[in-house]
Structures are given as C-alpha cells and as structure tokens.
Amino acid sequence: MKPFTTLNSIVTPLFENDINTDQIIPSQYLRDVNADLGFGLFSFLRRSPNGEVNLECPFEDFRYRGSEILLVGENFGCGSSREHAVWALQEFGFKCLIGLSFAELFRENCLKNGILPIVLNAESIALIVNHTRDDSNLNKIMIDLEKCEILNANRKLITEFSINERERHMLLNGLDDIGLTLQSINKITEWEIYIAKSKPWLTQSISLLS
C-alpha cells in the first residue's frame, strides 16, 4: 500500500444513512475478475436500467470530478462484508471517507486497503459542509493524518479527528497486516533461534509434520 500522510481534495457529498455494500457495488460486478469496479460503483444510483446517466448523482456531477474524499452519513458500508465495496471506492479514486459512523467490517476493509475512514460528530460534519459550500475555496479540504487535523484551503483548522494509533501507524507507513508483522522480523527470527536451541524437539516435530 502507498503511505497516507496528507490529502488535498474537493469533497463529494453523499448524506444518505445506512448505505450498504450492495448499493456501493452491486453483486453482478463480483462475478467477473476483470470487472471495472470503478464503473460499477453505485451503478444503480449513477445510471438508469437503460444506461442513461443520472446527472443529478454526485458521482456524475462535474463539480466533484477528481474528488478523493467522500462525505457520508451514518452506518456507511453496512450489509455484507464484501471487500469489493472498498475496491470499487478505491478504483473510482477515493482515498478518504468522512462520516458519522461506519459498519465495523467495512471500516476494517478500508484500513486494510489504505483508505482512511474518519468518524466525526454532526457538528464537525456541519463545519466541513459549510466550508465546502463556499465556492471561493474550490470546495477543497486537507486531511493531515500526522496531526489528525482537517484544514481548509488556507490551511486553517476546521476540525480534529481521532484514530487508533496502530491504525494510524499502518496508514502513515503504507502497511497491511503482513507488512506490520514484517517490521518485527528480527524479533521473530531471534525467537525461532531461541526455540530451536532451547526446545529442539519442537522444531523436529514441526519438520516431521511438514
């Protein structure tokens, strides 16, 4: 994964609550390993059954083109735990989600794929909304994961956020679970050498099993 330190982007608003993973990426896009997940993202919202584009959908609105931050409501990503939902958001270009709450498994999938999910209260969300409604600042905000701050285009603080320190460390360094484990490879090797010397029958048993 690529390290996540800071992110400057316009914000795409999607304020509906309880958006589930089937809405994010319909199941038909899960059957083909070569499916364009970015095209499939919110396909029912973005296009009619006959393929006509819904220009009122924020994902088709030219004002939000190139956006890397999605602003959502409560319980975003509920339903099944399909990782394709995160992959679809990522392929479309989103690197950060800001919302009132996220489904637990969905949030974990975000973190494991390098997307930053930020949980804020309604007051903080309102501050961001008020800022992005002002056309003079081009709807942009800056996410600073080092300081856990959200800033406006003039680098003035809008609000702060919190995140588990282990999760923050993994995102800042571009680490998944395997990468985090490999950071302790020296200690793992030392332990294996110690066990081999102090309890040789264990390593012999493992060799026989393998």
pLDDT in tens, the chain (210 residues): 899 999 999 999 998 999 999 999 999 999 888 899 999 999 999 998 888 999 889 999 988 999 999 999 999 999 988 999 999 999 999 999 999 999 999 999 999 999 999 999 999 999 998 887 765 555 789 999 999 999 988 889 999 999 999 999 999 999 887 777 777 788 888 887 787 788 777 666 555 545
Cβ atoms of residues 24 and 102 within 8 Å: no
Q: Which long-range contacts (CB under 8 A, 24 or more apart) does 199-204 make?
A: none
The residue ranges of every structural domain in the chain are 6-175, 177-210
Q: For residues 113 and 87, give the distance between their C-alpha atoms in angstroms, rounded to a whole number.
A: 8
Residue with tokens 């309604």: 122
Rounded to two decimals, the pTM is 0.86
**Topology adopted by domain 6-175:** Aconitase; domain 4 (3.20.19)
Q: For residues 43 and 37, give the distance between their C-alpha atoms in angstroms, rounded to a whole number.
A: 10
